[in-house]
Amino acid sequence: MRRRAIAIAALLALAALAIVAAASATTNRAAAPSAQAATAASLVKCGKTRSIGLMAPFTGPAASIGINQVHWAQYFQRTYNATHKTKIKFVNEDTMLGSANGTAEAVKGAQALGSNPSVLGVVGPAGSNEVKATTGALKGAGLGFVSGSATNTQITTDGTRTGYFFRTVPPDSSQSKSVSGYITGKLKVTKVYIVDDQEAYSIGLADEVEAQLKAKGVTVGRDGVSQQQSDFSAIINKIPRDTELVYLPWQLPPKGQAFGQQMKSLGRGSVKLMGSDGLFDPLFSGLGSNVYDSFFPLNPSDKRVKAFKKLHGGASELFGAPSYVATQVVSGAIDRACANGTASRAEVRAQLKKTKISKKASLLGLPVSFDKNGDMVKKPFGVYHSVNGVFVRVG
Amino acid sequence: MVGPNLEGGVPPGPGVVDQPRVGVDEWVANVDERREAQKGLTGLVRRAWEGVPPAGRLVILLGPFAIFPFFANEGNLYRYGLITVVYALLALGLNVVVGFAGLLDLGYVAFFGFGAYLYGIMASGHSGHHLQAEIAIPIAVVAAALVGLLLGLTSWRLLGDYLAIVTLFFLQAFVIFVNNANGGPSDFSYPFVGRVDLTGGANGLDQIDPLNFFGYHITTTKGYYFYTLISLALLMTMLYFVNKSRTGRAWRALREDPLAAEVMTMPVNRLKLLAFMFGAGTAGFTGTIFGAVQSGAFPGDYDVGLLITIYAIVILGGLGSIGGVVIGALVVNGAPELLRSSSNARFLFYGVLLLALLVAMRPWYRPVVVLLGTIAFGAVVRVVVAAAWPRGTAGHVQGGGAFGRALDHWVLIPTHVDRIAGWAYFVLILAALVLTLVRGWWRTIALIPTLYLASFVWENKLVEQVSGATRLILLGALLVVIMNVRPAGIFGTSRVEIV
Amino acid sequence: MNWSLFFGELVSGLTLGSIYALIALGYTMVYGILKLLNFAHGDVYMVGAFIGFFVLQWLGGPLTTAVTGWLAIAIMFVVAMLGCGALGVGIEIFAYRPLRNAPRIAPLISALGVSIFLQNSALLLWGPQFRSYDTFDLIGVKSYHIGRNFFISNIQIFTIAASFGLMAVLTWLVARTRTGKAMRATSFDREAAEMMGIRVDRVISFTFFVGSALAAAGGVMFGIVFGQIFSLMGFTAGLKGFTAAVVGGIGSIPGAMLGGFLIGLTEAFATGYLPGGSTYANLYVFALLIAMFLVRPSGLLGSPVIQKV
């Protein structure tokens, strides 16, 4: 009898779900599907609140970096709302980067933003694969999207999203040039070993750095570990004893720390370690003075950076700072498009192309404007050296 | 296994005629009659359902799906409609392998990915080829079925647990391969062609063409939705007929007792291979759809997470039940979407608690007592805590709405909550387990603080991660509960095993 | 012949293998008694690692512990083993005991459900970020070497020695005590054991307790040696532990130990010597498993199962 009861309960629960689903489906009847194409060019009256879509990994394995980006974006929103009559409102879509369903969540989010008529521009998504997956939906809805962390070089050069996609972070090609330039120019090492972490970001960077180093005559060994792995002893044993530098284009600082510690415990503590912007963190720099890293130039003593750190209790990561700039770019474009009272998504996109933020106003320490592909015109990466446990810019 | 019922340890003599006992042949033979005679709501619904002709049942199940696009906007259509139908298709294929033939295949989504990637290799901007769908799709399906055949060959000597592990490793191998086959330094070098960029590696195979049938491109969500829905209907029809055929019966025999089937001269190995191939072909077909919809195939999409989702659908819907799978897909896909907003999730959570209370406790006055008791208990606790420790009640319920505001005055929401919430979660699990051990009035009394604690944990901890970890926690708990209560799934048929 | 690479991978393989062996033991004991694949075992291992982490934090953290290094580690081990033992018993009572007579697939699915539940509870409570044990500074890493090519650190010695110690205790438990005899009897024929007066429920709970405690020890050891733990580490470790159990012969305790070391060595040597190294290391392990299935389905030390019809 208990079983029957539970079966009835399940049926009732299902019925309840169906009703709620139908109810929430009908309340969003704003735009019938065939009207989708019209939203791209359709004019929206610019009221006091401007809606910006925010796509980031709020939950899931990449949540720690995602929440950081969200905090930076919200920080811009806070400062903007405090100093302007119009207010920014975020429409949040959780992309769950790196989670079980892969990019499916990001596409769902993109579709939802596309069919929300008040959204005029999007900040995000965070991952390069997500950018690729959501291009169809966002382009179809006519939305421009600006990412603060999708660094894969091809997504701006392959032409599939020109005019729609922009990014406020230098691409991998810049980072790899800075890194290989520093390795061969300043450090002058001739034997390098590269270990990637099997993720798109890492493999892309590793491939480029490897090619550039080899072109300059450096001996390069290459291997990969899974992001889930913590046991590096087998890999460390494989690294030839005469290697002078190990390049780790990884995204998770605790992993970088573990690698460094295991190197030490296996007697290889004197080998230089170079990380990528994902490892720019005290956990990695705390390993010792043999540690280098590359990061986009950000002025740590900028007032806004200091204020952000204070807001979030001292130790906070700078990884999400480009998302601040991305929000700045999108809100600026919306404001300019709304100057005459109405705006359409196409107008916002046109304004995105014309973005011009001066060096003083930008957090990145360099002026922000976009080239024809959607990349920033100026896109250097700095190289840092760990001195007394803190990263100091050296190149 | 149901053992014989030996009261007093001695079987009755030959002349005794009494009620058929569990496990004895007559009891088994009467299974169908007992089902017919089921009283109450379940029996009524079941008899009504089985009275409708199969075509009618198909229309009833899929009818709402067909009208849905006219009531939903693009975003919701994609989210609630297209993805549900795609999952339902996938789950049907898995149902053949697991539900019909009884083979625990844990590598199933590899075929899904295989179909998507192969279609991408044949028709995408990335690879440079642009085959039309009517050529590419059959190739993808046949190729997937062949790979299924190869995987099935490893099951020649294996069944059960070992097969599960081998197929799981196949999935891992697929993901690793696809993640690295970009022609780069970590890829293999093939004999004649050297290194080839097959899958785009970790960056995925992007710019996949939309489905192109004889020049007609499917480009809108609605178009893909109807295409997938029609495929689903066709597949369900096909499976219905297969189920009634010799092969279907043979599969059922294989599922129940492989050894007996073999002894009865059924070609057990060939049946296993056939099941694998069928499942793989279905998954490959669904893969072509998904690849075209997403216009890209990425390694992370076809991993264990999706496998668990599809298994949840098949189990919830009932192993071996064709219609149940569709309902399972609706629940497993629809519920998390609904749970995205905290206020919706809250309704669902409290609604389910209430329902469970009403259903599990008879007579009617018990749940009412528990409810009133919990409300009173909560109010008292809150007043006491507010007096003793003001910070304990200063926080606010996440999300809003009238219900949320009402709860604000009832539930304890401290301002700095992390560690307390963690311990509370732990205590809640213990309390829930203790509840299953006590009986009678003790259980009713113990329910009151447990319910209040559950509400506390929900508002302070679970609601944070509603679309991520919480959903999966509930799924895991649900799987355990369902297996305990109804191992065959909600719509599956209970099986009787004879020792 | 690159001896330093050879010895390096040998030591790495033994260290890794001893952790896999501990996990494999839990699998093999449970399978021997219940014929059940305990999917949740890997997650018990993860919980053990986390308990160790939190005990360390409670003692003051890796740099400012209230007690000396090795004592702190001993406390971590004891608390983690007891805690996870209790967890294992709880899982058995609530997820597996009611399903003892259900069709084979039901406890498997239930195990899957428990695994999902544990993983995501950990994710919810402790977050997805990696936690550092940081015990390198706590115990002081010392690297010893014999000749020019053989290096080994004190942490690795500790891991291998501790594993062997635990396995020796387990072997003594199973071979020399009455409870051990009861365990062996129950795994041989449960009904007969019950009829001979053995309290089967208690024996099964005890088996789960011991198996989970060993997994917890493995988890803490992993944290100490490799430094990083996170909520999803149980999945792959559990899979490899199961592989080890099967390769060694499921149901056989010495087989699980042997299998564990074999898997660890395979992984290390594959990373070191084969092309594509670490990327495909897992695949080589799985390939070994499949080869074992095809050649000797009952594993290295297992006895061929004769099915009575």
pLDDT tens-digit map of B13-41: 565 555 555 555 666 666 666 666 655 66
Q: CA of C99: which chain B residue's CA is closest?
A: B484
Q: CA of A61: which chain B residue's CA is closest?
A: B468
Which chain C residues have a beta carbon less than 8 Å from that of A255? Answer: 130, 228
pLDDT confidence of residue A1: 47
- Of A137, A159, A135, give the one whose Cα is nearest residue A147: A135
Instruction: Assign a CATH topology to domain B52-337.
Output: ABC transporter involved in vitamin B12 uptake, BtuC (1.10.3470)
pLDDT confidence of residue A278: 79
Put residue C111 in one of left, alpha, beta given phi > 0 → left and psi -120 to 50 → alpha. alpha
User: CB distance from A93 to chain B under 8 Å?
Assistant: no
ipTM of this complex > 0.95? no
Which chain B residues have a beta carbon less than 8 Å from that of A9? Answer: 355-356, 359-360
- Give the gap in angstroms from C-alpha B132 to the nearest C-alpha of chain C: 35
B397 pLDDT tier (thresholds 50, 70, 90): low
Report the residue from C110, C243, C290 with minimal CB separation from B483.
C110
Please count the residue pairs, one from chain B and one from chain C, whose beta carbons lie less than 8 angstroms apart.
134
Neighbours of chain A (3+ CB pairs under 8 A): B, C
Domains of chain A plus CATH, in order, are 37-169+301-364 (3.40.50.2300), 173-295+383-393 (3.40.50.2300)
**CB pair distance less than 8 Å for C297 and B161:** no
pLDDT confidence of residue C191: 86
**CB pair distance less than 8 Å for A158 and B207:** yes
- pLDDT of B363 > 80? The answer is no
Which chain B residues have a beta carbon less than 8 Å from that of C235? Answer: 304
Pairing of strands A144-147, A119-123: parallel
pLDDT confidence of residue C101: 78
> A179 or A45: which carries more pLDDT confidence?
A179
Report the residue from B168, B472, B483 with minimal CB separation from C120.
B472
pLDDT confidence of residue A26: 35
B110 pLDDT tier (thresholds 50, 70, 90): very high
pLDDT in tens, C65-99: 667 777 888 899 999 999 999 999 999 988 888 88
**CB pair distance less than 8 Å for B202 and A199:** yes
Q: Which of A:335-364 have CB within 8 Å of B?
A: none
Range scoring the smallest mean pLDDT among A233-237, A263-267, B239-243, B401-405: B401-405
Average pLDDT over residues C42-53: 93
- pLDDT of A22 > 60? The answer is no
- pLDDT of A205 > 70? The answer is yes
B499 pLDDT tier (thresholds 50, 70, 90): very low
Range scoring the smallest mean pLDDT among B418-432, C26-40, C178-192: B418-432
Report the residue from B203, B300, B331 with minimal CB separation from A98.
B300
**CB pair distance less than 8 Å for B347 and A22:** no
pLDDT in tens, B427-479: 888 887 777 777 777 777 788 888 888 888 877 777 666 666 777 787 777 77
pLDDT confidence of residue C305: 63
**CB pair distance less than 8 Å for B161 and C108:** yes
pLDDT confidence of residue B22: 58
Q: CA of A198: which chain C residue's CA is closest?
A: C279
pLDDT confidence of residue C41: 93
pLDDT in tens, B61-84: 888 888 887 877 767 777 778 888
B256 pLDDT tier (thresholds 50, 70, 90): confident
Report the residue from A14, A116, A129 with minimal CB separation from B327.
A14
Range scoring the smallest mean pLDDT among A335-344, B235-244, C129-138, C300-309: C300-309
Range scoring the smallest mean pLDDT among A102-106, A184-188, B47-51, C17-21: B47-51
A223 pLDDT tier (thresholds 50, 70, 90): confident
> C251 or C218: which carries more pLDDT confidence?
C218
Query: Which of B41, B176, B206, B364 is best to mutate for the A interface (most A CBs within 10 A)?
Result: B206
pLDDT confidence of residue B36: 60
pLDDT confidence of residue B188: 64
pLDDT confidence of residue C82: 94
Report the residue from C94, C120, C243 with minimal CB separation from B476.
C120
- pLDDT of C307 > 70? The answer is no
pLDDT confidence of residue B173: 85
- Give the gap in angstroms from C-alpha B405 to the nearest C-alpha of chain A: 21
For Cα atoms A271, A277, A282, give the angle at the middle one, nearest 5 degrees: 70
Domain positions in chain B are 7-42, 52-337, 343-466
Report the residue from A60, A257, A266 with minimal CB separation from C143.
A266
> A48 or C215: which carries more pLDDT confidence?
C215
> Are C9 and C156 contacting, i.e. CB atoms less than 8 angstroms apart?
no
pLDDT confidence of residue B14: 60
Average pLDDT, chain A: 80
DSSP label at B245?
A: S
Report the residue from C4, C16, C136 with minimal CB separation from A261.
C136
- Give the gap in angstroms from C-alpha B312 to the nearest C-alpha of chain C: 9
pLDDT confidence of residue B187: 64
pLDDT in tens, B115-148: 999 998 888 877 778 888 888 899 999 999 999 9
- Give the gap in angstroms from C-alpha B270 to the nearest C-alpha of chain A: 33
Encoded tokens for C38? 């305990």
Query: Which of B45, B78, B472 is best to mutate for the A interface (most A CBs within 10 A)?
Result: B78
* Alpha carbon distances (Å) from A173 to A39, A150, A178: 35, 12, 9
**CB pair distance less than 8 Å for C113 and B433:** no
Q: CA of B184: which chain C residue's CA is closest?
A: C276
- pLDDT of C134 > 50? The answer is yes
Q: CA of C122: which chain B residue's CA is closest?
A: B469
Alpha-carbon span C183 to C158, nearest angstrom = 30
Counting Cβ atoms within 10 Å, is residue B401 exposed (0-12), middle (13-18) or buried (19+)? middle
pLDDT confidence of residue A35: 34
> Are C301 and C251 contacting, i.e. CB atoms less than 8 angstroms apart?
no
Report the residue from C127, C226, C272 with minimal CB separation from A262.
C226
Helices (H), B266-417: 268-294, 304-317, 322-338, 342-360, 365-388, 401-408
pLDDT confidence of residue A344: 87
User: CB distance from A99 to chain B under 8 Å?
Assistant: yes
Which chain C residues have a beta carbon less than 8 Å from that of A224? Answer: 277-279
- Give the gap in angstroms from C-alpha A392 to the nearest C-alpha of chain B: 32
Average pLDDT over residues A183-198: 88
pLDDT confidence of residue A6: 53
- pLDDT of C111 > 60? The answer is yes
Domain positions in chain C are 3-241
Please count the residue pairs, one from chain A and one from chain B, whose beta carbons lie less than 8 angstroms apart.
194
Which chain A residues have a beta carbon less than 8 Å from that of B490? Answer: 7, 10
Handedness of CA B113, B118, B122, B127 (dihedral sign): positive
**CB pair distance less than 8 Å for A230 and C143:** no
Which chain A residues have a beta carbon less than 8 Å from that of B347? Answer: 20
Q: Which of B:294-313 have CB within 8 Å of C?
A: 304, 308, 311
DSSP label at B79?
A: I
Range scoring the smallest mean pLDDT among B49-63, C10-24, C89-103, C243-257: B49-63
Which chain B residues have a beta carbon less than 8 Å from that of C105? Answer: 98, 102, 104, 319, 487
User: CB distance from C304 to chain B under 8 Å?
Assistant: no
- Give the gap in angstroms from C-alpha B315 to the nearest C-alpha of chain A: 14
> C107 or B344: which carries more pLDDT confidence?
C107
Range scoring the smallest mean pLDDT among B166-170, C21-25, C149-153, C158-162: C149-153
pLDDT in tens, B478-487: 778 777 777 6
- pLDDT of C229 > 80? The answer is yes
Average pLDDT over residues C260-265: 92
Neighbours of chain B (3+ CB pairs under 8 A): A, C
Tell me which range, B324-338, B485-499, C150-164, is most confidently predicted by mean pLDDT.
C150-164
Encoded tokens for A208? 């480029």
> Are B199 and B122 contacting, i.e. CB atoms less than 8 angstroms apart?
no
Alpha-carbon span A80 to A74, nearest angstrom = 10
- pLDDT of A314 > 60? The answer is no
pLDDT confidence of residue C297: 73
For Cα atoms B363, B367, B372, give the angle at the middle one, nearest 5 degrees: 140
Query: Which of B171, B294, B465 is best to mutate for the A interface (most A CBs within 10 A)?
Result: B294
pLDDT confidence of residue B465: 66
**CB pair distance less than 8 Å for B476 and C115:** yes
Q: Which of B:224-283 have CB within 8 Å of C?
A: 259, 263
**CB pair distance less than 8 Å for A102 and B301:** yes
User: CB distance from C306 to chain B under 8 Å?
Assistant: no
Tell me the one-letter amino acid at C24. A
Counting Cβ atoms within 10 Å, is residue B100 exposed (0-12), middle (13-18) or buried (19+)? buried
User: CB distance from B176 to chain C under 8 Å?
Assistant: yes
DSSP label at B205?
A: E
Look-up of token digits 């009402």: B406
- pLDDT of B356 > 80? The answer is no
Q: Which residues contact C68 (CB under 8 A, 6 or more apart)?
A: none
Q: Which of A:165-204 have CB within 8 Å of B?
A: 198-200, 202-204
Q: What is the 3-state secondary structure (H, E, C) of chain A?
A: CHHHHHHHHHHHHHHHHHHHHHHHHHHCCCCCHHHHHHHHHCCEECCCEEEEEEEECCCCCCHHHHHHHHHHHHHHHHHHHHHCCCEEEEEEEECCCCCCCCCHHHHHHHHHHHCCCCEEEEECCCCHHHHHHHHHHHHHCCCEEEECCCCCCHHHHCCCCCCCEEECCCCHHHHHHHHHHHHHHHHCCCEEEEEECCCHHHHHHHHHHHHHHHHCCCEEEEEECCCCCCCCHHHHHHCCCCCCEEEECCCCHHHHHHHHHHHHHCCCCCCEEEECHHHCCHHHHCCCCCEEEEECCCCCCCHHHHHHHHHCCCCCCCCCHHHHHHHHHHHHHHHHHHHHCEECHHHHHHHHHCCCECCCCCCCCCCECECCCCCECCCCCEEEEEECCEEEECC
Report the residue from A237, A252, A258 with minimal CB separation from C272.
A237
Average pLDDT over residues C47-56: 91
